[in-house]
Structure 1
Amino acid sequence: MPSDAARFPRSSPYWPVVSHPLLRRVLPGLAVSALGDGMAVVAVTWLAIQLAPHGQRGTWIAVAMAAYTLPSAAGTVVFGRLLRGRSGAQLAGWDAILRASALAAIPLAHLAGVLTIGLYVILLAASALLHSWGSAGRFTLIAEVLPERHHLPANAVLGTIGGFATIVGPPLAGILIGWAGPVWVIAVDAATFAALALTYRFALPATGRATGHERGASRTAGFAVIRHNPALLGLLALSLGFFFLFGPVYVAMPIHITDDLHASATLLGVYYTAFGVGGLVGSLVAGHLRHLPLRATTIGIVVAFGVAMLPLGLGVPVGLSLPAFALAGLIWAPYMSTSMALFQRSTSTVQLPAVLAANGAILVLAVPLGTMLGGPLVGAIGARPTLLFCATAIVTLGLIAGGIAISRRSARSPGDSAVTEISASR
């Protein structure tokens, strides 16, 4: 009988994903655009520094970064009637077209000599309007073309692509910025989204338009579905709390490095790199979690992540806190894959785009709001206590979610539990 090693790669949970006749055409485009976005994280802030008045750089950097993400929340509502009921490929493709067009306008305005910090922020905001719908489209496409048992590995493939891009993209952007300037890195990002848009247009078969009923549906239909589904509402609340409580870490970590450890920005970069490398490994591992109960696994990730963050808050030596932070990244990475799989199995493919867009619109606000809390929190109690507070609060959140899940499970009749287990094992 052949061993698993002899049957690799066909024995891998990722083989049905990467070998799928439709997905294998799209994955290269997704990888290229993810790399472009990884570079844009650096380029967006660097170009803001160049365009902003000298005394207002900090403010404009924050505004530019917010403009690159937050408008997607408004886009979820504004375009709800138009986009609800569209196929996953259509949604992801339209997001790619808008991003390519708006980002390409930045270097064009630069060449024309009319690029100001105000116009720059407006174009960044325009590029982000369909971001929640585009993300929803990618996960909807997975639900449309793959059976349920392959959803988690497919989600993990998307997470792995994103994790790789966050490690490779920023240093590559630094090289290109030094050679040509940040505006041309943004031009490269626009080109990667144009390539992705062409991939969706020509690599996938055309699908019909939404029905008139779907076009006329409420702009907030996705929010309504979540509100009336206790399982999805609980999952959204867990994700919102998880991401919000992580937000202050972005404020506390730099201050902890400088004030408590008396170290340079280099050490901060090492911490973030360790987290990113751990996240990449975690994304690769996520696909192998498909045989575990998804809801319990998702809650367990929250608890384990909080535990892994405790060494930072307890002030242990760098030799221990650095690997703990890498472990936290490893634990963090599968969360999006497992939570998306829960949405995919709990919602029909017709409702899924609107539901995922609503979920994304709320979650895109969570980390920025938590980061805003981080400023006064660090000022009030200090950087290291803030890290300890975040870690213990995340552990508490996970334990509360676990307790609620256990109480709900106990309240079900044996027949209901059996049906649930059969459904979960499909």
Structure 2
Amino acid sequence: MPVIRAVPAAYRPVLAHRPFRRMMPAFAASDLGDGMSAVAVAWLAVVVAPEGQRELLLGAAVAAYALPGAVGALVLGRWLRGMPPRRLLVLNSSLRAVMLGAIPLAWAAGWLHPLLYVGLLGASSLLMAWGGAGKFALLAQLLPAERRLAGNALLSSMGSASIIVGPAAAGFLATVVSPAWIIGVDALSFAVLGVQAARTAPRADAPAAAPVDAGRSAAGLRLLRGQPELLGILALTWLFFFLYGPVEVALPLHITEDLHADSALLGLYWTLFGVGAVAGGLTAGALRRLPLWPVTLGIVAGWGLVLLPFGTGAGAPVTIVCFALGGAIYGPYSALSFTLFQNRTPEPLLTTVLAARSAMLLTSTPVGVALGGPLVAALGPRAVLAGSGAATVGVAVIVAVVRAVGARAPTPS
């Protein structure tokens, strides 16, 4: 095909693989829908909230769009762990399509009470972690081992692109139609993904889902508990993501209350953050040649520093530049923190240790988001944005001091 010949050689075999190629538009559609919902969910909460309760409802809505996924990951494992990846993906896509699709219908009928809105968002995200696992496990069943790296890179690139395109599109559309209809577009994208996944069969020689090895799982958790450095990076990451959570609540309210602007400006903030994150993420390979702990702490402190100008009353041009710079600083973090785990974990236990890491981190940002609502109501958006930045810098400094003191402590003989 002419289009396939035009792409880099490393990706041609992947795009020539018909089942994977057919899944790509569906994956791209759901990623774009989620990118649009990053703006629409928050903006609809502002629209439907009763007077004086916008901060609380916004925090509850953004948290409901993610936090139940952590509960589902921890509680539903005994029923879903052995399910084929395709079924997991179809199940999650169907749930999200139905629950998110009910939001614009309730809006049109005049029934979208704030409690119903939060409940529908929470129900839609219950299987989110399992759907993500099914997505990448299905990729492994579709592609042979030598083509999976390129396939993963394509999926990751689509996810990054959705952060750039989705918020900008939603910010524009929300000035024309209700954000409820934008969430309806997200629901439609998941319906497309579910239908396409149901029609896709894995390779004939693809292995079935492996049974859970209780002994290996226990060994992996014991290793994590017995490695202070791994626990240290896990704790740092949890706090980093937790302190980021209030930003998702404070930024939309900063735009409406302090800057007196509309959703288009919110979309611009997140779009430029996404551009910065993609650019920063591309530097991760070069940064791996540097000491990973200092670089990781520098990223945490750098993100905190770019939030401080929000508290000075700086105008939108300044804070937009800061937010884009923050995206560039934040971009390499996940790759570098994963590398720390990979370098210090025996290969047979790596999957179990990384699974434990993911389960613990699923709660971090949603808990921060949930606390962001009351904090914004009490302190105001600017103070919360700057306070999140200051606390993040403080965490980086404390961890750096603790590591420096630990490195100088004498080793017991």
TM-score by length of 2: 0.71
Q: Which residue of 2 aligns with 1:418?
A: none
Query: Could you list the per-position Cα deviations for residues 199-249 of structure 1 after superposition, in whole angstroms to 9, with x for gaps in the alignment?
Result: 3333341777657x649x79x989947744636544422210221233455
Q: Which residue of 2 aligns with 1:236?
A: 234
Query: Could you list the per-position Cα deviations for residues 187-208 of structure 1 after superposition, in whole angstroms to 9, with x for gaps in the alignment?
Result: 2111111222233333341777
Change (3 A) 1:159 1:393: farther
Map residues 331-350 of structure 1 onto 2, 5 A cutoff. 331-340=329-338
Cα separation, 1, equivalents of 2:401 and 2:19: 41
Gaps in structure 1 of 5+ consecutive residues: 1-6, 412-426
Corresponding residue SS for 1:203: coil
Map residues 317-396 of structure 1 onto 2, 5 A cutoff. 323-340=321-338, 351=352, 354-355=355-356, 357-365=358-366, 367-368=368-369, 371=372, 375=376, 386=387, 389-396=390-397
Out of 121, 127, 130, which is 2:127 matched to?
130
Q: Which residue of 1 aligns with 2:288?
A: 292
Please say if 1:37 is aligned against 2:38.
no
Cα separation, 2, equivalents of 1:339 and 1:142: 24
Q: Which residue of 2 aligns with 1:62?
A: 59
Tell whether the 8 Å contact from 1:103 to 1:190 is kept in structure 2 after alignment. yes
Tell whether the 8 Å contact from 1:225 to 1:355 is kept in structure 2 after alignment. no
Q: Which residue of 1 aligns with 2:299?
A: 304
Change (3 A) 1:124 1:353: farther
Please say if 1:76 is aligned against 2:77.
no
Cα separation, 1, equivalents of 2:164 and 2:208: 38
Query: Could you list the per-position Cα deviations for residues 367-402 of structure 1 after superposition, in whole angstroms to 9, with x for gaps in the alignment?
Result: 4267369559957x9568636623522532663687
AA aligned to 1:191 is: L
AA aligned to 2:241 is: F
Tell whether the 8 Å contact from 1:92 to 1:133 is kept in structure 2 after alignment. yes
Out of 172, 191, 194, which is 2:191 matched to?
194
Cα separation, 2, equivalents of 1:64 and 1:111: 19
Q: Which residue of 1 aligns with 2:3?
A: none
Tell whether the 8 Å contact from 1:132 to 1:357 is kept in structure 2 after alignment. no
Q: Which residue of 2 aligns with 1:278?
A: 276
Corresponding residue SS for 2:95: helix
TM-superposed deviation, 1:106: 3.1
Cα separation, 2, equivalents of 1:222 and 1:122: 38
Q: Which residue of 2 aligns with 1:414?
A: none
Tell whether the 8 Å contact from 1:103 to 1:189 is kept in structure 2 after alignment. yes
AA aligned to 2:41 is: V
Change (3 A) 1:81 1:256: closer
Query: Could you list the per-position Cα deviations for residues 94-152 of structure 1 after superposition, in whole angstroms to 9, with x for gaps in the alignment?
Result: 3222212222233455566655433332221111101122233445556775769975x
TM-superposed deviation, 1:66: 2.0
- CA RMSD in angstroms, aligned pairs only: 4.9
Corresponding residue SS for 2:362: helix
Map residues 170-249 of structure 1 onto 2, 5 A cutoff. 170-205=167-202, 214=212, 224=221, 227-228=224-225, 230=227, 232-249=230-247
Change (3 A) 1:326 1:18: farther
Cα separation, 1, equivalents of 2:185 and 2:224: 40
Change (3 A) 1:60 1:316: closer
Q: Which residue of 1 aligns with 2:114?
A: 117
AA aligned to 1:300 is: V
TM-superposed deviation, 1:78: 1.7
Q: Which residue of 2 aligns with 1:101?
A: 98
AA aligned to 2:162 is: A
TM-superposed deviation, 1:280: 2.8
TM-superposed deviation, 1:79: 0.3
TM-superposed deviation, 1:327: 2.7
TM-score by length of 1: 0.69
Change (3 A) 1:404 1:246: farther
AA aligned to 2:298 is: V
- Size of the aligned set, in residue pairs, is 392
Change (3 A) 1:248 1:302: farther
Deviates more, 1:341-350 or 1:65-74: 341-350
Corresponding residue SS for 2:9: coil
